[in-house]
Amino acid sequence: MTMRRGLERFLVLGLLLALGPRPTAAQAPAPADPEALDSARIPGVSFEELQRRARAALGAGQTDEALRFFRAGVELNPLWNEGWFYVGSLQYGRGRYEPARDAFLMVVQAAPESGAAWALLGFCEFRLSEYDRAFASLTQGLALGADGDKDIESGVHYHLALLRIRRGDFEGSVQHLLWLARSQPPNPPLLDACGLMILRLPTLPSDIPLDQKDLVKTAGWAAYSTLAGRHDEARPLFEDLVTRYPKSPGVHLAFGLFLAARDSGEALPMLSREVALFPDNGKAHLEVAFQYLERGDAADALPSAREAARLIPAASASHLALGRALVADDRLTEGLAELEEAARLGPNVPDVYVALAQAYARAGRTTDVERSRRKLRELDAERQPHLTQ
């Protein structure tokens, strides 16, 4: 797609506010643009003149006039891709997300290689609560590089993080939040997203209950500091979080995960406190099990591993923990069954195949040992290009 760069693009992108969520608009989209319902044609004006007037108005910051001329231009020439791009951008900037979405659909149909257009389409779909479509569009935009525009790329990472959090894919959201925390200073929307992730609350910032807003923000500061690599700042923030909200779900788990990542002996008591307060928290049971396994204590790991597998049976990690604990406790047949289930649920998780290779070796199943090692080599080969980028 050939697009005009410079002042015109800067003005339009300034209207997009890619990082600034509009939660009320996401929940209650703006009414349909009356202009979009009527013909936009300007009789007696040629397409070439409409192009000139549209670009001139945009360059002068006259966005209403620019939109009028761009709309007239695309109605006269529906193949004018640049015009559709600016119609979408200007409508988005006015909070008119439905006509903006329709304009960007025209752009991506004509120029499917444009990462920026896919990203902007995803922003519109997000505002219209079309979350599955938004996820697909934003993922495509990110894969195509968002045309190298850092502002748009930031918006893509932010909205993908929110969509993953909403789905309950907290681990998946970390990659996006990490990118944001390492590339920009904290801001309220980002802190809310970090707080929702670390507390494992599957909702959007706009849906945070009033009585939980401060909790989420406090957790967000601790999580943001961790993701930004400011670990010395993060610890006192987690301590403050636990002190201020000692009976809130997820608080001790969040601090426990922070401590576990630093191989602190304080991690297990903190995680165990979460289990004691909230015995239905499968993630807390899972982390307790892994802590015991790291200490070589399979007997103590087993109860928590069984609870994790019961509470979150669709998680590969739950069956990995239970399988490892069973194998370590000399229950080889049961353990292998759990590890094979872990592989079925997480076919690309290296730790699963390490555990399987070890268990198969104990069982004398040399062919299965080699198969597991071959899978590990394949996964390692797939990871190498990403590690060097």
Averaged pLDDT, 296-324: 97
Supply the range of the domain harboring residue 375: 279-381
pLDDT, mean over the chain: 89
Q: Which of 147, 180, 213 is the last residue of a domain?
A: 180
Q: Does the residue 214 lie in any domain?
A: no
Q: Does the residue 322 lie in any domain?
A: yes
Q: Does the residue 231 lie in any domain?
A: no
Both 153 and 299 in one domain: the answer is no
pLDDT at 242: 98
Q: Which residue has the tokens 């670390």?
A: 198
Helix axes 188-199, 170-183, angle to 10 degrees: 150
How far is 354 from 302, CA to CA, in rounded Å? 19
pLDDT single digits (tens) 197-231: 999 999 999 999 999 999 999 999 999 999 999 99
DSSP structural state of residue 20: S
Furthest C-alpha separation in the chain:
86
Q: State pTM to two decimals.
A: 0.86
Q: Does the residue 33 lie in any domain?
A: yes
Both 28 and 166 in one domain: the answer is yes
CA-based nearest residue to 335, from 351, 315, 358:
358
Q: Does the residue 233 lie in any domain?
A: no
CA-based nearest residue to 180, from 197, 168, 166, 202:
197
Q: Which of 119, 148, 180 is the last residue of a domain?
A: 180
pLDDT at 42: 84
Both 20 and 136 in one domain: the answer is yes
Structural domains counted in the chain: 2
Both 159 and 283 in one domain: the answer is no
CA-based nearest residue to 101, from 134, 68, 70:
134
A 10 A CB-CB count for 30 gives 18
Q: Which of 150, 180, 210 is the last residue of a domain?
A: 180
Q: Does the residue 254 lie in any domain?
A: no
How many angstroms from the chain centroid is the CA of residue 269? 30
Q: Does the residue 272 lie in any domain?
A: no
Both 173 and 289 in one domain: the answer is no
| Residue 353 pLDDT greater than 60, yes or no | yes
Averaged pLDDT, 306-329: 97
- In this structure, the dihedral spanned by the alpha carbons of residues 214, 260, 354 and 325, taken in order and rounded to 10 degrees, is -100
| Residue 134 pLDDT greater than 80, yes or no | yes
| Residue 18 pLDDT greater than 60, yes or no | no
CA-based nearest residue to 292, from 258, 329, 262:
329
Both 21 and 170 in one domain: the answer is yes
Both 164 and 283 in one domain: the answer is no
Q: 186 Cβ partners below 8 Å, 6+ apart?
A: 221, 224
The token pair at 180 is: 């944001």
| Residue 25 pLDDT greater than 90, yes or no | no
What's the CATH number where 159 sits? Answer: 1.25.40.10
Both 146 and 3 in one domain: the answer is yes
